[in-house]
Amino acid sequence: MAFYLFCGLALLLALGLLGQPYWLDYRRNRVREAAFPAAWRKILRERVPLIRKLPQHLQLQLKKHMQVFIAEKAFLGCDGLRVTDEMRVVIAAQACLLILNRATDYFANVRQILVYPSAFVVNRVTVDSAGVQQEQRQALSGESWSQGQVILSWDDTVHGAAVADDGRNVVIHEFAHQLDQENGAAQGAPPPLLGDTEYDGARWSQVFHAAFAHLQAEASQGVQGVLDHYGAKNPGEFFAVVSEVFFEQPQALAAEYPALYQELQGYYKLDPASW
């Protein structure tokens, strides 16, 4: 009797696992079919001017993605901050720019989005050239953790959304890290879409590292181009920085780094310079 009970439970578990993707698709389709709230449209108009540049079909796609994103992610306020719909909408709008025109699982690794009122302080242990460890306190506007959390400063999030052409956007930056972390630590080599026949890993690596070396040279010489020198820190930060500029200053990026822009255009399946 126990054997048959065990087999029955195992069968139910197997059927549950097999049915989970279909249930998830069904649930997401129901969310996307719902009308986009009028209050959310008002928030987008007032807080995220970049969205107005998108063609109408991309605006519609973005709104559907936002509905799923907001339904599935837990938004947690920190340091006494109370999370509002405005916060959810502004964050979701910027994060979902990165998954337009792409087969997406909505940043499946991200379970929680922690929102601080402003820059938050963290302790970091650094090692100097002599090998001596030192603890430093740093004020950050955002962080991306591989354990399933994205941490954001609300002040910096609002500013990044409001100024849509300065190439600096903390939400795009941190969620670009999440894309990069889908195959391990952020190293500037995010995994391509499944079945993407246009992706050439060798070409990506060649173009990416040539551009990264160029930025490192600019940073060492004190030359300021379109990319923030913070991107010269490591390949992971470089990918996050160029993603910010790709969406906010696409024409300038295409002019200064044409090959890199083309690779990003292929990866994100978008051409922001044409908006």
**Each residue's pLDDT tens digit, 122-164:** 776 666 566 666 667 778 899 999 889 999 999 999 999 999 9
Q: Which segments of the chain belong to CATH 3.40.390.10?
A: 187-275
Determine if the pTM surpasses 0.85.
yes
- Give phi and psi for 194, each to the nearest 5: -60, 125
Which residues make up the CATH 1.10.472.150 domain(s) of the chain?
13-166
Residue 247 has pLDDT above 50, yes or no: yes
pLDDT for res 12:
37
- Tell me what pLDDT residue 211 has: 98
Q: Which two tokens stand for residue 124?
A: 């970091």
Write the CATH number of the domain with boundaries 13-166.
Answer: 1.10.472.150
pLDDT score at 184: 81
Name the average pLDDT for the chain: 90
Q: Is residue 77 packed enough to be buried (19+ CB in 10 Å), middle (13-18) or exposed (0-12)?
A: middle
Assign 7 a pLDDT band (cuts: 50, 70, 90): very low
Alpha helices in the chain (DSSP H): 2-33, 38-47, 56-72, 85-96, 154-162, 170-180, 201-221, 235-248, 250-256, 258-268
Specify the CATH number for 187-275; select among 3.10.20.740, 3.40.50.2000, 3.40.50.2300, 3.40.390.10.
3.40.390.10
